[in-house]
Homo-oligomer: A and B are copies of this chain.
Amino acid sequence: MNLDNSFRVGIAGLGTVGRGVVRTLQKNRELLRKRVGRELAVVAVCARSRSKERGIALDAYEWEADPARLAARPDIDAFVELMGGEDGDAKRSVEAAIGNGKHVVTANKALLAVHGHALAEAAEQQSVALRFEAAVAGGIPVIKALGESLAGDRITRVVGVLNGTCNYILTRMEKNEASYPEIFSEAQSLGYLEADPTLDVGGIDAAHKLALLASLAYGTRVDFGNVDIEGIERISLRDIEQTRDMGYRVKLLCVARMSEEGLEQRTQPCLVPRYSTVGRIDGATNIVLLEGEATGQISLQGPGAGEGPTATAVVGDIVGIARGSAGTTFGQPAATLVSAPPARSAVPVPYYLRLSLRDEPGAFAEIALALAWANVSIDRIRQYAHATEAAPVIIVTHATTRARLDRALDEIRRSEVSLREPVSIRIEEI
């Protein structure tokens, strides 16, 4: 059945990424044959609609209506899952592929963030590869960098801007001086948002990716359930403008760090210095900083999504398997991955606070006392001219722990001079 020694793949899902993978395999067929040493052949495909016009020739491939049937075909070596979704068809078909001894390549961060450990164990039992470079940061080879290139080092911190949509929205708010709801509507009408937009703007998509990076970096079981997640919905144009004046930009940061207390995994809007490597990232670009004890800091930057970059990542994984590259899913045998207790960040950092205070004598003194009581000291203060009874006050604290800050915020909330819920944004040192 496979007389010519080709490496045969079945592709499930023909959306943007699936179409890109078919296109790449067709267009670069000769190049790939040289680079792999054998032909990469598409045998069969599967998608929701057979009749949809996709601008690619599919006639030479078998069509399967059920992705799990495709995954089990005796004439494929690898199953390429590009449907998405943490359960349903994606999970069922990846399990079918592994159960039938097929290698799996997927771009599905949700599936792996939730079921990655079980799938990795199953793949290793069956001695098949499960690869997911395209699931994190599109065309940026961060999975390979962490799991292979840096395998000799102890990772001290991983920092990423991993959701292009959020970064696009924040960049647009800043440049157009438009509010979050305005830019959100714009992004939605342009088709930039997921069907369920909270996946993007709520930070969930970025958190999925962070959970995968943390597992690779620290030899821990993927633990999406313990990622501290906060989206960008509460970031106002006022915060963007005022922090910019102070030399910062707002980024939805993903941070993973291991300490004696356990594994810290955070996805939250943070301030970063405007002229730092991360602070300069615009639009849909992704960036990942990998920090190692011996290596120092490496930064990888590029397009985090889109047909071309993501398809290249998928094909890179197929190439690796076809060349015979061995290796586990999360950088070491799944059975040796440990469960780390979740930990909150214990490193003191400065915070930006925006308060709305009653415009009356003693109001600011009351806030200053609340901060002093919680042992939070003030670095900078700005109060702006205002026409209303609410006086906008910006405070940047000196480095303090989250626990102290929370005590101060509770005290401020209780105060009668505070007219609105105080806004606090962590200032990340990078």
Binding site for B on A (CB under 8 A): 20, 24-25, 28, 31-32, 34-37, 133, 139-141, 144-145, 148-154, 219, 277, 280, 292-303, 306-309, 311-316, 318-320, 323-328, 331-333, 336
Q: Is the CB of A152 within 8 A of B219?
A: no
- Which of A32, A152, A153 has the most C-beta atoms of chain B within 10 angstroms of its own C-beta? A152
How far is B28's CA from A320's CA once the two chains are assembled, in angstroms?
26
* Contact (Cβ within 8 A) B332 A309: no
Q: What are some 19 contacts across the A-B interface (CB < 8 A)?
A: A24-B153, A28-B152, A28-B154, A36-B151, A37-B328, A139-B295, A140-B298, A144-B148, A148-B320, A148-B325, A152-B315, A292-B308, A295-B309, A295-B312, A296-B302, A296-B306, A297-B303, A298-B302, A323-B326
Least distance between A393 CB and chain B CB atoms (Å) = 33
Main secondary structure of the interface of A (DSSP, over half): mixed
Copies of this chain in the oligomer: 2
Contact A323 B316 (CB under 8 A): no
Is B312 a contact of A152 with CB atoms below 8 Å?
yes
Please indicate the chain B residues that have their CB under 8 angstroms from the CB of A35 in the complex: 151, 219, 331-332
- Rounded to whole angstroms, the CA-CA distance of A133 and B277 in the bound complex is 24
Contacts of A301 in B (CB 8 A): 277, 298-301
Which residue of chain B lies nearest to A306 when distances are taken between CB atoms in the complex?
B296
Using A141-B145, A325-B325 as known contacts, say yes or no to A311 and B294 having CB atoms under 8 A apart. yes
A164–B32 alpha-carbon span in the complex (Å)? 34
- Closest approach, in angstroms, between the C-beta of A319 and any C-beta of chain B? 4
Complex Cα–Cα for A20 and B153 (A): 11
B-chain residues with CB within 8 Å of residue A306 when the two chains form the complex: 296
Known contacts: A141-B144, A298-B301, A300-B300. The answer to whether A316 contacts B32 by CB under 8 A is: no
Contact present for B300 and A298 (CB under 8 Å): yes
Most B-side CB within 10 Å, residue of A306, A318, A320: A320
- A141-B145, A141-B149, A149-B133 in contact; A302/B313 too (CB < 8 A)? no
